[in-house]
Amino acid sequence: MLVAIALVSCDEIRLFEENKDLKDNQWLLQDTIAFTFTIRDIGKDYNLLCNIRNTSDYPYARLFLNYSLRDSTGTTLSTELKSLYLFDSKTGQPFGNGGIGDVFDHRLMLLENYRFKYNGRYTLSFDQQMRLDTLGGISAIGFRLEEVVKEVK
């Protein structure tokens, strides 16, 4: 059993991952969720991903969110509106990995094979773009930074 736990917990490409729970499974329009991380090797490529946890109470098929990547001076390096289907729009069946009960986890690629120009601290922030003051059914938002591992030929 210890070997199985060790294998599951070993994630060599993950450099940073943090998830922030939302109070009462609600993402308020004015709430920006931010993550600060450090880049130490500009010679590598990175994947930046968003983790989303929702419940079956989420009222729509899709989620629209905006991300913004800023360096330590506050300069915006990348920003984009992203969308993700959380449920099948025709059948209502949930997508994502099923968790406990009616909770589902999703991972959304933000930037793939991204190369930072400088070592240092960066901030990635998210805000919901559903045009609702209170968006229910969203349990947590997270950020994952991965090192891209090139295949050796």
Residue 153: which pLDDT band, with cuts at 50, 70 and 90? low
Segment 103-152, tens digit of pLDDT: 999 999 999 999 999 999 999 999 999 988 999 999 999 999 999 987 76
Q: Residue 113: how many CB atoms within 10 A of its CB? A: 10
Angle at 13 between CA 117 and CA 101, to 5 degrees: 120
Quote the pTM value: 0.87
d(C-alpha 125, C-alpha 35), whole Å: 6
N-term to C-term CA, the chain: 35
With a CB cutoff of 8 Å and minimum separation 6, the contacts of 105 are 51, 52, 53, 96, 97, 99
